[in-house]
Amino acid sequence: MIYVDADACPVREETVRVAERHGVEVVFVSNGGIRPSRHPLVKVVVVSEGADVADKWIAERVGKGDVCVTADVPLAARCVEAGARVIGPDGEPFSEANIGTRLALRDLMTDLRAADPFRQGGGKPFSKADRSRFLEALDRALRAAAR
C-alpha cells in the first residue's frame, strides 16, 4: 500500500499512475481540500483538523511492505522506524542511514528561522526534474517493498 501525506503533495497524479502499473492501493490522507476519487485503487481519508493529525493517522497504520510519500521529516522518521519505504515528493529517499541527519538538519533550520524572524526564503521550487526523480524513486520503492 502507498500512504500519501496529501495536503501539499505535488505528485498525487504521478503516485496513482505508478500505483496502477504495480496494482497497489493508494491512500491519500488529508485535513481536507482533496476531492474524492472514483479510481478503484485510490482511497481518500480526511482526518480532523489539527497539527499532525494526518501524520499520526499514517504512522499508526504504515508498516513493512508499505511505501509512504511525504516531505514531513518527523513523519518520515516514524515510517522508517515502522519498516516502510519512504520517499519525498522530490524523489529523495528517507532511510535508516539518513533519517538522523535529516532530522538534525530540520531542527537546525527551525532554530535558524526562529533566531531571525526576518529571514526570507523557503524551499526550492518544484521542478520537472524533481517530478521525474519521484516517478523513478516510487517505482524502485514499490519493487523493493514487494520483495
Query: Nearest-CA neighbor of 69 among 2, 22, 17?
Result: 2
**pTM here?**
0.86
Residue 80 has pLDDT above 90, yes or no: yes
Residue 7 has pLDDT above 90, yes or no: no
Instruction: Indicate the number of domains in the chain.
Output: 1
Boundaries of domain holding 42 = 2-146
Return the CATH number at 91: 3.40.50
pLDDT digits (tens, 9 = 90+) for 38-72: 999 999 999 988 778 999 999 999 999 999 999 99
User: What is the C-alpha to C-alpha distance for residues 147 and 140, in angstroms, rounded to an integer?
Assistant: 11
Q: Which of the four pLDDT bands, split at 50, 70 and 90, describes residue 92?
A: very high
pLDDT digits (tens, 9 = 90+) for 121-131: 666 788 899 99
DSSP state of 23: T
Residue 119, all three cell numbers = 529571514
